[in-house]
Structure 1
Amino acid sequence: MTLCRVVRPCFQTLKRGKSISSLSDYRDRSFYKYFIDIQTRWRDNDIYGHVNNVVYGEWIDTIVNKYLIERCSLEPLQSPSIGFVVSSYCQYFSPTSYPSIISAGLLIKKIGKSSVDYQVGIFEDNQALKAAAMAPIAETKIVLAEGYAWILLEAVIICIHMLITGMTMASVRKRFFSKEFYEKHFPQYKQLGKVMKPDGGYPDDGQGRLADKLSDEDWFTFNNYRRAHMNYLEGGFAVIVPLLISGLSYTRVAFIAGLVYIVAREIYSQGYRRSGSKGRLVGALTLDAALLTLWSMALYTCFHWGNGLSGLQRLLF
């Protein structure tokens, strides 16, 4: 299962800013963010005409596992790891019987380092505002799979790619700001050995005294290389942060968008270095499309995890 979708319930369902003193406080339907409808069966009733206690356990297992399969990409038959329920119990408030269609709600109470505490509420129907029964499931072990690790790998690759893009400046500096360049334009450089050395034109970054001595063609070439690198630096956080956030909810799409961005960024840099600002068009349009995709998914993830405007209202007030 992806890290994103295991962690997301915490932000969707944890109640912030309010102290909950007793289990009965969780009877309110508004606490639960994930629901499924379950049709009761004739055989669910006991001799007293009420749903047997054992059936509640089946309902609890059903909603928890359905959530993990649908929202967390859990594959029970293929997963190399297994989760264990180490503690659970049920508190009853009102009877339920066939032929009712019950509504089961799921709440994430706490996420630990290797466990999750669930709260399940059983509602008589879709209109019920108070739970007929509730079952805390403590310390359910959740094992994370490798999906989100590829998003992290992409973030590392972007950082490395950014560094490599900057390293291409070294060859240009060495070619343009050679020892011969210093001897021709700054014959006194030996007298200024402490501050001026034939070391590639440092600290000139394209607009200083050294760059002014370059020919027009060399000046444009040098600054095209520089802008390709600086643009990457300027946009680094703009891609890494939304990539990490959107990957929590949309791992596959975020991974693809990240790949598109990396390839487009290389096209952008190559075009800029060869042809100047006109050569960046194809790469710019492509990487901007990838960025818009990541930004949109990241914004939706933040808004969705925060429970929308109602969550913002609870945070502020």
Structure 2
Amino acid sequence: MTGEYVHWENVPTRWKDNDVYGHVNNVVHYSLMDTVINEWMIRTAGFDPASSEAIGLCVESHCAYKAEVSFPDAIRVGLRVGKLGRSSVRWEIGMFRASDDVLIAEGHFVHVFVDRHARRPVEIAGRVRAEMEKLLRP
């Protein structure tokens, strides 16, 4: 299952990530997905969220929880593109406990790229699109 993802980030959990039940709270999973996607966009695809003419707005998100994880576990986050449209992209994310590769959660985000000012859909083009194409799942 880990072979289905193209890009990987290892993320340590933090003490504050645990909730009163002793496991990483569900909101942390969403934060990790958002962080890994945006870090990839900035570092790999050259996206500048502060000045780009087009921005990606999240129009859909989902997370299915499969197993618990707790501080001080690290989480391996796998990223791929499930679908790449003209102005939208469906990111697919797998989160695995680093110590034993157990799947802890699977999720997706759908971003629609829009003009920063008009907020109307625009084509995903150039380097950003070229890099996204490299993440399309095999």
Q: TM-score, normalised by structure 1?
A: 0.37
Name the structure where helix makes up a greater proportion of residues: 1
Q: Which amino acid aligns with 2:108?
A: P
Q: Displacement of 1:147 after TM fit?
A: 6.3
- Taking structure 1 as reference, are residues 103 and 77 closer, same or farther at Cα in structure 2, changes over 3 Å only? same
Q: In structure 1, the residue corresponding to 2:51 is in which secondary structure?
A: coil
Partner of 2:44: 71
Name the structure where strand makes up a greater proportion of residues: 2
1:102 aligns with 2:103: no
Aligned residues: 125
The question of whether the paired residues in 2 share the 8 Å contact of 1:93 and 1:132 is answered with yes
1:135 aligns with 2:124: no
The question of whether the paired residues in 1 share the 8 Å contact of 2:88 and 2:124 is answered with no
Q: Displacement of 1:144 after TM fit?
A: 3.8
Distance 1:144 1:110 in 2: 13
Distance 1:102 1:147 in 2: 29
Partner of 1:42: 15
Which of 28, 48, 53 is the matching residue for 1:80? 53
1:92 aligns with 2:72: no
Q: Which amino acid aligns with 1:96?
A: V
Q: TM-score, normalised by structure 2?
A: 0.80
The question of whether the paired residues in 2 share the 8 Å contact of 1:68 and 1:74 is answered with yes
Q: Which has the higher contact order (CA 8 A, sep 6+)?
A: 2
- Taking structure 1 as reference, are residues 147 and 54 closer, same or farther at Cα in structure 2, changes over 3 Å only? closer
Partner of 2:116: none
The question of whether the paired residues in 2 share the 8 Å contact of 1:103 and 1:126 is answered with no
Query: Which runs of structure 1 show a deviation greater than 4 angstroms over 4 or more consecutive aligned residues?
Result: 145-148
Query: In terms of Rg, which structure is larger?
Result: 1
**Unmatched 5+ residue regions in structure 2?**
114-122
Distance 1:125 1:118 in 2: 21
Q: In structure 2, the residue corresponding to 1:69 is in which secondary structure?
A: helix
Q: Which amino acid aligns with 2:103?
A: A
Identity %: 33
Q: In structure 2, the residue corresponding to 1:73 is in which secondary structure?
A: coil
Which of 87, 93, 96 is the matching residue for 1:120? 93
1:29 aligns with 2:2: yes
**Unmatched 5+ residue regions in structure 1?**
1-27, 149-247, 250-304, 306-310, 312-317
Q: Displacement of 1:141 after TM fit?
A: 1.8
Distance 1:89 1:66 in 2: 19
Q: In structure 1, the residue corresponding to 2:56 is in which secondary structure?
A: coil
RMSD: 2.4
Higher alpha-carbon deviation: 28-37 or 117-126: 117-126
The question of whether the paired residues in 2 share the 8 Å contact of 1:39 and 1:102 is answered with yes
Q: Displacement of 1:82 after TM fit?
A: 1.6
Q: Which amino acid aligns with 2:105?
A: A
Distance 2:18 2:95 in 1: 16
Q: Deviations over 1:140-164 (max 9, x none)?
A: 124546669xxxxxxxxxxxxxxxx
The question of whether the paired residues in 1 share the 8 Å contact of 2:45 and 2:127 is answered with no
- Taking structure 1 as reference, are residues 146 and 92 closer, same or farther at Cα in structure 2, changes over 3 Å only? closer
